[in-house]
Amino acid sequence: MAKANKAYVLFGAPGSGKGTQAEQLVKHYGFVHVATGDLFRENLKQNTPLGQLAKGYMEKGALVPDDVTARMLKERLQRGDEAPAYLLDGFPRTLPQAQMLEEILRELGIRLAAVIFIQTSDDLIVRRLGGRLICKACQTPYHKTNRPPKKEGICDRCGGELYQRADDNPDTVRARLATFHSQTAPLIEYYKKAGLLHPVNGEISAEQTLQEISEILKKY
Ligand code: ADP
Ligand code: ZN
């Protein structure tokens, strides 16, 4: 297979279901999932300088500075994976990041094919994130009531241990939503104008949302 020269952006509020959809899209289409949140958490775990820098921002529900995040993304994409496409999750999150992304993709010869916008209401998100559990080993998301693992506390896929993210407590969730509305939501207009925005419903079942995304992928 050739190196990926196409990218999709999965866009939506925290807890809109990007991680769940990404997992299915990777399985069905063989995309390479690049999630900036996962990259930061990996750095945090390894206690790298980048992790130390990101920690304070993440704990407050704030964004890590654009230039730091963009550099991390670029380094990741420069690896040049063999896949049909990249699936970007959590980047861009600000208008400057969207411009940086264009620059990075141009340099690497990757085309942005579509921005998939998973639409959700804030109420739903607060309910969802309160019950979210994530696998320490493979990052697969679960939910205490909506999507429980077969064995409590254990990942169905890899047997890893499930944990609740430090930033999934109610106060930080509210801060993350506020950050989304003030800094990330302007991207909706931006990508609409660019003709790249494809909204899907994030309030129906994960399977139905996946179906809507698949319809878009067929065309782009
Ligand atoms: P969420 O579920 O809130 O979408 P992520 O796992 O994508 O969470 O990101 C967790 C945290 O990592 C964010 O709250 C933010 O502090 C940091 N982060 C992730 N992506 C970016 C980005 N593109 N720009 C700045 N900070 C980011
Ligand atoms: Zn796992």
Q: The tokens of 171 are what?
A: 């106060």
Q: Please identify, by atom number, the ligand 1 atom nearest to the C-alpha of residue 36.
A: 20
In 3D space, the residue among 21, 133, 39 whose CA is nearest the CA of residue 87 turns out to be 21
Per-residue model confidence as pLDDT tens digits over 72-82: 999 999 999 99
pLDDT digits (tens, 9 = 90+) for 187-205: 999 999 999 999 999 999 9
d(CA 97, CA 69): 8
Residues 159-184 have pLDDT tens digits of: 999 999 999 988 899 999 999 999 99
Which of ligand 1's atoms lies nearest the C-alpha of 60? Answer: 16
pLDDT at 127: 87
Q: In this structure, which residue's CA is closest to atom 4 in ligand 1?
A: 14
* Ligand 2 centroid to residue 151 C-alpha, Å: 12
Handedness of CA 144, 146, 151, 157 (dihedral sign): negative
* Cα-Cα-Cα-Cα dihedral sign, residues 199, 204, 209, 212: negative
Cα distance between residue 10 and residue 43, in whole Å: 22
Closest listed residue to residue 61, CA positions, set 169, 141, 136, 172: 172
Distance, CA 156 to ligand 2 centroid (Å)?
A: 7
Domains of the chain (ranges, CATH numbers): 6-125+185-217 (3.40.50.300)
Cβ distance 64 to 54 under 8 Å?
yes
What are the contacts of 71-75 at 24+ separation with CB within 8 A? 72/36, 72/39, 72/40, 72/43, 73/34, 73/36, 73/39, 73/101, 73/104, 74/104, 74/107, 74/108
Would you state the pLDDT for residue 40?
96
* Whether the CB of 43 sits within 6 Å of ligand 1: no
Instruction: Give, as one character, the DSSP assignment of residue 166.
Output: G
Pair of tokens at residue 55: 């920690």
Task: Specify the residue for token string 């607060």.
Answer: 126
**Catalytic center residues:** 18, 93, 132, 165, 176
Return the pLDDT at 14.
93
Q: How many angstroms separate the CA atoms of 6 and 4, rounded? A: 6
- Return the DSSP state at 64: P
Mean pLDDT of the chain: 95
| pLDDT at residue 148 is higher than 90 | yes
- Which pair of tokens denotes residue 29? 């289409």
For ligand 1, pick from 58, 128, 139, 172 the residue to mutate: most ligand atoms within 8 Å of CB. Answer: 58
**Protein residue with its CA nearest to atom 6 in ligand 1:** 37
CA of 1 to the centre of ligand 1 (A): 31
Q: Is 69 in the pocket of ligand 1 (CB under 6 A)?
A: yes
How far lies 178's CA from each of 14, 61, 62, 63, 90, in Å?
A: 10, 9, 9, 11, 16
What pLDDT, on a 0 to 100 scale, did the predictor assign at position 1? Answer: 79
pLDDT in tens, 18-46: 999 999 999 999 999 999 999 999 999 99
The pLDDT of residue 65 is above 90: yes
Question: In the prediction, which pLDDT does 170 show?
Answer: 85
Mean pLDDT score, 63-84: 96
